[in-house]
Amino acid sequence: MEGSISPRINGHKIELLDRKILNIQGIKDVHSFNEDTVILETEMGLLTIEGEDLHINNLNVEQSSLNITGRISSFAYSDNMDFKSKGNSFLGKMFR
């Protein structure tokens, strides 16, 4: 169709294996993390992951991918992007 703009799709994918390994693609930023909660900005909104003994094992900024291990209890999306305005993200602190 002439004159139309096709939406830009970077891709967002979540793969959960046995509630122990979580592979995520389409990561924009890591806002916070500890052993119980990881909060990420993704292509599809803010993603909160909850569990026990959570560890970020592989963060690839160039490929926008992330690997988390531990006991994953839940993950949920939110459109609330309050973290953006605060400038307190993990990656933001690393590159100051």
Tens digit of each residue's pLDDT (9 = 90 or more) over 9-62: 568 999 999 999 999 999 999 999 999 999 999 989 999 999 999 999 999 988
The more confident residue out of 19 and 93 is 19
What per-residue confidence (pLDDT) applies to 80?
A: 72
Can you point out the beta strands (E) in 1-96?
Answer: 13-17, 21-25, 27-33, 37-42, 45-60, 65-78
Pairing of strands 37-42, 27-33: antiparallel
Residue 5, Ramachandran bin (φ over 0: left; ψ between -120 and 50: alpha; else beta) = beta
pTM for this predicted structure: 0.73
CATH of domain 13-82: 2.60.40.2000
- Kindly list the domain boundaries of the chain, sorted by start residue: 13-82
Residue of higher predicted confidence among 12 and 2: 12
CB 22 within 8 A of CB 53: no
